[in-house]
Chain A
Amino acid sequence: MVATLVQNHISIEATPLLDVRALSLGFGASKTNLLEGVRYSVEAGETLCIVGESGCGKSVSSLAIMGLLRHDVAHIREADIRFRGEPYDLHDTAALRRHRGADIAMIFQEPMTSLNPAFRVGDQIAEAVRAHRNVTEAEANDRAVNMLRRVGIPAPEARVNEYPHQMSGGMRQRVMIAMALANDPALLIADEPTTALDVTIQSQILDLIRTLQAETGMGTIMITHDLGVVAEIADKVAVMYAGTIVEAGPAEAIFNDPQHPYTIGLMSSMPKLTGPRERLTTVPGTVPTIETMPDGCRFSTRCPFAQHVCKETPPERSFGAGHTALCHFAPLNERLERA
């Protein structure tokens, strides 16, 4: 199983596990879409990192895929999504519920508040199992103990009876992971799972996700604003800015050869351990709000290279090996050298 998954991962022709071809959505009556033509794909056994500043829509896009956005607030304007090659309909709430927690699972940023304080952690895991599998209570409870053991919680037989408040943040995030993986999902969406944790716990949780991923061959979408996390675990990276994926490709290409002006700005804002110490650069300006969103390229209001043509929708330019950027001027290497 794992061998074929690894093969799939290598072969470029394989059907992606989750293929988001186009996803646009808006909130309330606003005409401007919060997410505009978002596209990314993730394959089995692969880790895709979606990076971007807070508010850029990275969480919203995954909540939309989970069907966890309120229908009366968030309006899906365009959705062409495949899951395991099959059409995945964001309007079919019943089907979305069958997927949720079964073959697509999600963990969240806030382990302290994401578990229900009124119920034992074991019951909360067992409940996830019983929601999708026809098993007895005893079997579901066994599964809960096993899952706690798998996520590295010591004395799982005892801790399965504990309440969330008896556990630390790191432990709670492990419980969340145990709950998410209880039904062996094919895809795990992790929405900033380490942001609220101590640095030492952060790397433990990342290691845990990576280990479990290697064991199960699940695809993982990691949403983060932490480029350190990206460098550590990403196979592929999608850079999101103001609701669009501005650049995507293999992690190596994004880090070593960024093509979109925003990605370049993002990379140069990261401190380096080697080389001369310099002042960190920043991307000037602020992210436009939904009311001030410019036509065409959404980054044009902050882009040092912006010209008149940027008022038009930027083309997707390809740089091989799945590396693409949405920019009129990409590749930017020549311009940068001249500048």
Chain B
Amino acid sequence: MLSFILRRILIAIPTVILISIFVFALQKLLPGDPVLAMAGEERDPATIEFLREKYRLNDPIPVQYFTWVGNALTGDLGISLRTNQPVTELMAEKLPVTLQLATMAMIFALVIGIPAGILSAVKKGTVTDYVANVVALSGLSIPNFWLGIMLILLVSVKWQLLPASGYVPFDEDPVRSIQVMIMPAFVLGTALAATLMRHTRSAMLTVLTSDYVRTARAKGLSERRVILKHAFRNALTPIVTLSALLFGELIAGAVLTEQIFTVPGFGKLVVDAVFNRDYAVVQGIVLVTAVGFIVMNLLADVAYVLLNPRLRS
């Protein structure tokens, strides 16, 4: 098992290198010069030269790349061109917000998506199945921004049940923190729940017709045990993989949802950075989320092995 994990980490290294090159190159290819943006209206040549020197933009591009990678390896992702704050510090501020939002959204998605998927597979072709599918399709097709605005209108403005926007750190006031985050998490979670539901349904449908499910029934087990233990355990593999990938996507930030509920997360940070040509921040965020994505993938693979006895040993 340990060697399997080590092997997977080794395989991930070239991926990370490729991503770093890609991220770096993309920044260089983008139109617009950050130094010009910083230099202001006058565009004083001396200032421009000074800034170029300061951010080492006069070095050859490969040298710039290796400087960046070298610093990144020591935990230094550079300094925001906009605020002069270290990029790592900026991200450390936003990461707890994004993690909380992603976790809560994921919980919504799992709690709604998986039971709905199991139910619609077991009741295939019945009214329950159709209703679940229509709801799932709606969940997928309703745009986040619309659902978000409607929720704010109803829940916050009309019924005054939950705050409409903002963010309260979890360690400051956990209850308030969760209250503020419920609506954005729900909005993000519904689309994921729909995806999860569809995948759970199809995985369960495959497994429910398998010979070992028939064997479980032939033993005289209750239908509940047949479905939740014998069938679901084997349908879990694709569900776990998908959940990990979805969670990875959530970490990358939910731009729209964060904008609507003014949640100060990764999504907002990256949007601001792109508009300001704050390339150090953009590079940093993309690199970190890519690594986060790879880590989630790795966890999915580990879970896959834990779930499947054939892959152990």
* A→B interface (CB under 8 Å): 66, 68, 72, 97-102, 105-106, 108, 110, 113-119, 127-128, 131-132, 163, 165, 176, 179-180
Q: Evaluate whether A68 and B218 lie within 8 angstroms (CB atoms) in the complex, with A113-B211, A165-B310 already known.
A: yes
What are 23 sample pairs from A and B whose C-beta atoms fall under 8 A apart? A68-B217, A98-B220, A99-B220, A100-B217, A101-B218, A102-B220, A105-B218, A108-B211, A110-B211, A113-B210, A113-B212, A114-B211, A116-B215, A117-B234, A118-B234, A118-B307, A118-B309, A127-B219, A127-B221, A132-B220, A163-B310, A179-B219, A180-B218
Tell me the nearest residue of chain B to A100, going by C-beta: B220
The reply to whether B217 and A116 form a contact with Cβ atoms under 8 Å apart is no
- B214-230 contact mask (Cβ, 8 Å, vs A): 1 or 0: 11111111100000001
Assembled-state Cα–Cα distance A66/B219 (Å): 10
- B270-313 contact mask (Cβ, 8 Å, vs A): 1 or 0: 00000000000000000000000000000000000001111000
Indicate if B233 sits at the interface (CB-CB under 8 A): yes
- Distance (whole angstroms) from the CB of A15 to the closest CB of chain B: 24
Q: Evaluate whether A68 and B221 lie within 8 angstroms (CB atoms) in the complex, with A118-B233, A118-B308 already known.
A: no
Tell me the nearest residue of chain A to B212, going by C-beta: A116
CB neighbours (8 Å) of B125 from chain A are 72
CB neighbours (8 Å) of A132 from chain B are 220
CB neighbours (8 Å) of A127 from chain B are 219, 221
CB neighbours (8 Å) of B218 from chain A are 66, 68, 100-101, 105-106, 108, 180
The reply to whether A114 and B234 form a contact with Cβ atoms under 8 Å apart is no
Contact of B310 among A106, A117, A119 (CB under 8 A): A117
* B→A interface (CB under 8 Å): 125, 210-212, 214-222, 230, 233-234, 307-310
The reply to whether B212 and A117 form a contact with Cβ atoms under 8 Å apart is yes
CB neighbours (8 Å) of B211 from chain A are 108, 110, 113-114
Tell me the nearest residue of chain A to B233, going by C-beta: A118
Contact of A100 among B212, B219, B308 (CB under 8 A): B219
The reply to whether A176 and B309 form a contact with Cβ atoms under 8 Å apart is no
Tell me the nearest residue of chain B to A99, going by C-beta: B220
Which 4 pairs between the two chains have the least Cβ-Cβ distance?
A101-B220, A100-B220, A101-B219, A113-B211
- Distance (whole angstroms) from the CB of A106 to the closest CB of chain B: 5
- Distance (whole angstroms) from the CB of B257 to the closest CB of chain A: 37
Assembled-state Cα–Cα distance A99/B217 (Å): 11
Tell me the nearest residue of chain B to A111, going by C-beta: B211
Assembled-state Cα–Cα distance A114/B214 (Å): 8
Assembled-state Cα–Cα distance A33/B72 (Å): 73
- Distance (whole angstroms) from the CB of A51 to the closest CB of chain B: 22
The reply to whether B214 and A163 form a contact with Cβ atoms under 8 Å apart is no
Assembled-state Cα–Cα distance A269/B25 (Å): 75
The reply to whether A165 and B309 form a contact with Cβ atoms under 8 Å apart is yes
CB neighbours (8 Å) of B212 from chain A are 113-117
The reply to whether A117 and B215 form a contact with Cβ atoms under 8 Å apart is no
Tell me the nearest residue of chain A to B309, going by C-beta: A163
- Distance (whole angstroms) from the CB of B160 to the closest CB of chain A: 47
Assembled-state Cα–Cα distance A226/B308 (Å): 36
CB neighbours (8 Å) of A128 from chain B are 219-220
Tell me the nearest residue of chain B to A93, going by C-beta: B223
Contact of A97 among B215, B222, B307, B309 (CB under 8 A): B222
Tell me the nearest residue of chain B to A116, going by C-beta: B212
The reply to whether A131 and B234 form a contact with Cβ atoms under 8 Å apart is no
Assembled-state Cα–Cα distance A119/B214 (Å): 15
Tell me the nearest residue of chain B to A125, going by C-beta: B219
CB neighbours (8 Å) of B234 from chain A are 116-118
CB neighbours (8 Å) of A100 from chain B are 217-220
Q: Evaluate whether A68 and B219 lie within 8 angstroms (CB atoms) in the complex, with A118-B307, A118-B309, A165-B310 already known.
A: no
CB neighbours (8 Å) of B216 from chain A are 116
The reply to whether B214 and A117 form a contact with Cβ atoms under 8 Å apart is no
- Distance (whole angstroms) from the CB of A164 to the closest CB of chain B: 8
Q: Evaluate whether A116 and B230 lie within 8 angstroms (CB atoms) in the complex, with A108-B214, A110-B211, A163-B309 already known.
A: yes
CB neighbours (8 Å) of A101 from chain B are 218-221
Assembled-state Cα–Cα distance A100/B239 (Å): 31
Assembled-state Cα–Cα distance A310/B218 (Å): 39
Assembled-state Cα–Cα distance A131/B215 (Å): 13
CB neighbours (8 Å) of A163 from chain B are 309-310
Tell me the nearest residue of chain B to A163, going by C-beta: B309
Assembled-state Cα–Cα distance A163/B308 (Å): 10
Q: Which of B216, B220, B222 lies at the interface centre, i.e. has the most chain A CB atoms within 10 A of its CB?
A: B220
CB neighbours (8 Å) of A114 from chain B are 211-212, 214-215
Assembled-state Cα–Cα distance A163/B309 (Å): 7
Assembled-state Cα–Cα distance A119/B212 (Å): 11
Assembled-state Cα–Cα distance A97/B211 (Å): 18
Tell me the nearest residue of chain A to B311, going by C-beta: A165
Assembled-state Cα–Cα distance A122/B234 (Å): 18
- Distance (whole angstroms) from the CB of A104 to the closest CB of chain B: 9
Q: Which of A68, A99, A118, A163 lies at the interface centre, i.e. has the most chain B CB atoms within 10 A of its CB?
A: A118
CB neighbours (8 Å) of A105 from chain B are 218
- Distance (whole angstroms) from the CB of B218 to the closest CB of chain A: 5
Assembled-state Cα–Cα distance A113/B211 (Å): 6
CB neighbours (8 Å) of B309 from chain A are 117-118, 163, 165
- Distance (whole angstroms) from the CB of A244 to the closest CB of chain B: 25
Tell me the nearest residue of chain B to A165, going by C-beta: B310
Tell me the nearest residue of chain A to B126, going by C-beta: A72
